[in-house]
Structure 1
Amino acid sequence: MMNAIDKQLQQATNRYLPNLLITVIVLIIFVWSTSAVQLDNVTANGLSIAKNILLGLIQPDTELLFNLTTGGVLYLLLETMAIAFLGTIVGAVLAIPLAFLSASNIVPKPVAYVIRLLLIVIRTIPPIVYGLMFIRVTGQGPFTGVLTISLTSVGMLSKLYVDVIEDLDTSVLESMESIGCTTIEKIRYGILPQLSAMFMSIVIYRFDMNLRDAAILGLVGAGGIGAPLIFAMNAYRWSEVGSILIGLIVLILIVEVVSNKVRSKLVKG
């Protein structure tokens, strides 16, 4: 018993200097990062605008909030959700073959490394940059948002898919191979049953993230609720800003609750 205690004390002593060094480095980085905070730019006009934004949230434009026309908040929220949903589905489908091609336990390692490098490049570029690029090709509108969400989803979903694929129970595949199953049969009866629930959980999680991205993409003209939001802010119509933000908050909260329940059932499943 005493030997175990002495061993733990020795390990704690050995970790003291590395932990102290890491703490000092983090503090130095934190202090250096605070230099980016410039409070001199906060003026009385800025504080007044912040007050008006808060008043807009408290006193929203209810006519805009419950308007059922194409210019109302409800329709714009529906369009935003449609962009996120369709983009997620397209990205989820395209990510499946890329994930298998980048899984080192499925394909040769050189092939897996090349595909992983491609996916890293895709994930590196922010969604708003993709949106600006696609606008030049397809013009402004929801289709641009769908293309952007699809491409950004491919990069992240493929990475998460790979983690699941590489944790496969290979003993099942070996048993199926020993009884003469074909590759298609091994995928259909050995791989898909293990992956389907986790894949669905990952897709739902990504949809939750894409809903927020779809709202931001509207700021650059890629459809959805972002464009009316930026127009209202530029025109200082804070009651309209409040109604749009309230609708967006409610939509995201509903999707968050529903997606968490569905994902928990899939995982337990």
Structure 2
Amino acid sequence: MLEKEKSNKGYYMMIAVAILGLLIWSMSVIEVKPLSKDGMVIAKNIFKGIFHPDTSFLFNFTKQGVPFLLLETIAIAVLGTLFGAILALPLAFLSATNIVPKPVAFIMNFINMAIRTVPPFVYGLMFIRVTGPGASAGVLTLAVASIGMIAKMFTETIENLDQGIIESMEASGASLFQKIRFGIIPQLKPDFLSLLLYRFDMNLRDATILGLVGAGGIGAPLIFAMNAYRWNQVGSILIGLFLLIFVVEAASSRIRRFLIQGK
């Protein structure tokens, strides 16, 4: 017992030393500069604008107001998630080693990894050159960026299935499509829907960031307001984003709990 405790203590000490070493190395690489006088003034103005928002902008129900911009951001996230899920679903099944031969699964996993390698921000810059600035670029960006993560998580869920059902269907001579349709999808439906809701939460935040490069949504007005030092409008946008994320997070958490636990 004492030897085990000593072994665990040594293990934890090694981890602590490794973390401390990484911290020291990181601090030596990153140059930390003190806040300038202008920086303090800007920070003060930012907080002042957040706590004194432009209510005429916040409650403006035209296409230039915060409500419409938030609605556009939600629409971009919804369409991007749905299109990404549609494209990721066949890729996930073709990447599962318990569904297809291992060489096929290896190739599909390699393609999926290549898709995940490119950050959404880069996809956004690429699609803006193709479609021009606007919501279309945001939808395409989120759709392609969603494929990698959704396919990976779908694949892991498929590979953790009850193999007894699949083996019994194989013994009865079922085709690949029949195995997927009658043996796999009924088991995976709650997990799939839960994963889509989780990805939608992420895409809603990404849609805001993509707006900074002109891919639609509320990000573009946010960066314009910041560049023009209109901090009261920045405050209005941030308040709208906070309320939107809060409502969506609460609703999606409740839906995921219902799908997984049935209550």
Deviations 1:175-229 (A, max 9, x none): 2344454443332221111011100000000000000000000000000000000
2:11 maps to which residue?
A: 18
1:214 maps to which residue?
A: 207
Which of the residues 141, 145, 148 maps onto 1:148?
141
For the residues of structure 1 that align with 2:211 and 2:25, how far apart are their CA atoms? 34
For the residues of structure 2 that align with 1:263 and 1:158, how far apart are their CA atoms? 19
The amino acid that maps onto 2:45 is N
2:33 maps to which residue?
A: 39
Which of the residues 169, 184, 197 maps onto 2:190?
197
- Report the 3-state secondary structure (helix = DSSP H, G, I; strand = E; otherwise coil) of the residue aligned with 1:175: helix
1:131 maps to which residue?
A: 124
Deviations 1:139-184 (A, max 9, x none): 1110000010001100000110011000111111222344454443
For the residues of structure 1 that align with 2:176 and 2:48, how far apart are their CA atoms? 62
Summarize the Cα distance change of 1:103–1:124 in structure 2 as closer, same or farther, 3 Å threshold. same
Residue 76 in structure 1 maps to residue 72 in structure 2: no
Residue 168 in structure 1 maps to residue 165 in structure 2: no
Which of the residues 79, 84, 87 maps onto 1:91?
84
For the residues of structure 2 that align with 1:266 and 1:241, how far apart are their CA atoms? 37
Using the TM superposition, give the Cα deviation of residue 109 of structure 1 relative to its aligned residue in structure 2, in angstroms.
1.4
Residue 252 in structure 1 maps to residue 222 in structure 2: no
For the residues of structure 2 that align with 1:145 and 1:246, how far apart are their CA atoms? 22
The amino acid that maps onto 1:149 is L
For the residues of structure 2 that align with 1:178 and 1:119, how far apart are their CA atoms? 31
Select between 184-193 and 243-252 the one with higher mean Cα deviation: 184-193
Residue 265 in structure 1 maps to residue 258 in structure 2: yes
2:180 maps to which residue?
A: 187
TM-score (norm 1): 0.93
For the residues of structure 1 that align with 2:82 and 2:157, how far apart are their CA atoms? 19
Select between 180-189 and 26-35 the one with higher mean Cα deviation: 180-189
Using the TM superposition, give the Cα deviation of residue 37 of structure 1 relative to its aligned residue in structure 2, in angstroms.
4.7
Select between 101-110 and 31-40 the one with higher mean Cα deviation: 31-40
The amino acid that maps onto 1:246 is I
For the residues of structure 2 that align with 1:119 and 1:179, how far apart are their CA atoms? 32
Using the TM superposition, give the Cα deviation of residue 13 of structure 1 relative to its aligned residue in structure 2, in angstroms.
2.0
For the residues of structure 1 that align with 2:178 and 2:98, how far apart are their CA atoms? 18
Which of the residues 94, 105, 119 maps onto 2:98?
105
Is there any run of 5+ residues in structure 2 with no aligned partner, and where? none
For the residues of structure 2 that align with 1:104 and 1:177, how far apart are their CA atoms? 15
For the residues of structure 2 that align with 1:197 and 1:77, how far apart are their CA atoms? 28
Deviations 1:73-103 (A, max 9, x none): 0000000010000000000111111011111
Cα RMSD, aligned residues only: 1.3
Is there any run of 5+ residues in structure 1 with no aligned partner, and where? 1-5
Deviations 1:18-44 (A, max 9, x none): 33222111101112222315133x111
Select between 25-34 and 93-102 the one with higher mean Cα deviation: 25-34
The amino acid that maps onto 1:38 is V
Residue 158 in structure 1 maps to residue 151 in structure 2: yes
Using the TM superposition, give the Cα deviation of residue 121 of structure 1 relative to its aligned residue in structure 2, in angstroms.
1.7
For the residues of structure 2 that align with 1:211 and 1:37, how far apart are their CA atoms? 33
